[in-house]
Amino acid sequence: MSTENAERAQARRAEGLRVVVVGATGNVGSHVVRALAGDPAVSSVVGLARRVPDWPVEKTAWAAVDLRHGETARAELTGHFRDADAVVHLAWLIQPTRDPLMTWRANALGTRHLLDAVAEARVPALVVASSVGAYSPGPQDRAVDESWPTHGWPDAPYSREKAYVERLLDIFEHERPDTRVVRMRPGFLFARESAAEQRRLFLGPLLFGPLVRPGLTPVVPDVPGLRFQVLRTSDVAEAYRLAVVRDVRGAFNLAADPVVDAALLARMFDARVVRMPRGVLRSAVAAAWHARLAPAQPQLFDALLRLPVMDCSRAAHELGWKPRFTAEDALRDLIDGLRHNAGANTPPLRPRLRHGRFSEFATGVGRRP
């Protein structure tokens, strides 16, 4: 860090940190805003999102920015980033999966404009949401640390875009060594209040929440490679808070134990494990996708089967982070939220759309936001 930036950071710490959160109203953003607002070291939070929520949070002001708007978004971001001590970049457009150009414009090009704004505003610290989905396919016999390649699974737009953002960050770090950059690579993030949003994003309008309960799911498919890591969203929010207030940099894997597999799911649902070839389940996912009954692409299923298991020891040793909740706790939060159509008072997390599930069919189930 340059002498000028070091002096500026020291002075700002004495006054309290000013943090800007981009993508502040979704599953992760809403938790991160609350975590930062509750930290005495943080004096103010600016929450940026496409749609401003009617949600008062201590120390927090809201403003609207849409990363799809190119140079206009860059100029707006630069204005918000002036005098910020840290920017937390969480904005990510998962839907519409049937319009990959739109998600590329929001996620890949939007991140490029955000990085330009961070550089122009000379922000000292940047914390970015990457993902386990950025990793290249991994081994089945061991966990991988943060040095594992981040080339993603190129057929899946989500994974491809996360990998592209990793390359943007490589360039940014090379060109802006004075900026402290932190990359968060969490597993799947669940919270009760995000269940309605996650159903809309991944499962679709045909899932009837009250049926998601133990005893009503007779079997769980055991598919080769179907092992993944999850954690509760409040735990990942704590990791983001620590990354803002502590002098750390680099990538951090974030997940809770145990690794989720068919046996764990069968135990939770009081179901029987049934061995199933990949192709059978993949064909069912593809059929639902092509029939516009589900919003999640079969390519995302392909990426899921190839994810590595992450070693999270660096987050424990260098960030001082440890999840409070187990993977099973996080899954139970999701299941309970699905059963009760749980949500929160922000536009992405609202439990019901204006016209209910008819709105989801009207958007083409993954064709429009």
Is there a contact between 298 and 282 (Cβ–Cβ < 8 Å)? Answer: yes
Q: How far is CA 328 from the centre of its chain?
A: 19
What's the predicted TM-score (pTM) here?
0.94
What average pLDDT does range 134-138 have in this prediction? 97
For residue 364, name the pLDDT band (cuts at 50, 70, 90). Answer: confident
For 230-239, write each residue's pLDDT tens digit.
999 999 999 9
pLDDT of residue 164: 98
Q: Buried b / exposed e across 281-308, counting CB within 10 Å, b at 16+?
A: bbeebbebbeeeebbbbbbbbbbbbbbb
Report the distance separating Cα 2 and Cα 297, nearest Å.
45
- So what's the pLDDT on residue 361? 83
Q: Does residue 49 surpass a pLDDT of 90?
A: yes
Residues 239-254 have pLDDT tens digits of 999 999 999 999 999 9
All residues at 6 or more sequence positions from 174 whose CB lies less than 8 Å from its CB, including other chains: none
Mean per-residue pLDDT, 353-367:
79
Burial class (CB in 10 A: 0-12, 13-18, 19+), 100: middle
Task: Write the pLDDT tens digit of every residue in 78-117.
Answer: 999 999 999 999 999 999 999 999 999 999 999 999 999 9
In this model, does residue 8 exceed pLDDT 70? no
Q: Answer with the residue of higher pLDDT: 223 or 361.
A: 223
Q: What is the mean pLDDT of residues 146-159?
A: 97
Q: CA torsion sign, 235 to 273 to 197 to 72?
A: positive
Tell me what the pLDDT averaged over the chain comes to.
94
pLDDT for 289-311, tens place per residue? 999 999 999 999 999 999 999 99
Please name the residues in contact with 285: beta carbons below 8 A apart, sequence gap of 6 or more: 294, 296, 298, 301
- Does residue 1 have a pLDDT over 60? no
pLDDT of residue 3: 57
Residue 266 and residue 275 in contact, taking contact as beta carbons nearer than 8 Å = no
In this structure, what token pair is assigned to residue 218? 């007779």
What is the predicted pLDDT for the residue at 210? Answer: 86
pLDDT at 325 over 60: yes
Which residues have a Cβ under 8 Å from the Cβ of 203 and sit 6 or more positions away?
A: 294, 295, 296
Q: Which CATH number fits domain 3-189+229-254: 2.60.40.1760, 3.40.50.720, 1.20.910.10, 3.40.50.2300?
A: 3.40.50.720
pLDDT for 57? 96
pLDDT tens readout for residues 177-212: 999 999 999 999 999 999 999 999 999 999 888 888
Digit-coded pLDDT (tens) for 277-291: 999 999 999 999 999
Residue 336 has pLDDT above 90, yes or no: yes
Burial class (CB in 10 A: 0-12, 13-18, 19+), 59: middle
Length of the chain: 369
pLDDT band of 11, cuts 50, 70, 90: low
Residue 259 has pLDDT above 90, yes or no: yes
pLDDT at residue 168, rounded to an integer: 98
Does the pLDDT at position 10 exceed 70? no
Of the pLDDT bands very low, low, confident and very high (cuts 50, 70, 90), residue 363 is confident
Does residue 354 surpass a pLDDT of 90?
no
Percentage of the chain surpassing pLDDT 70? 96
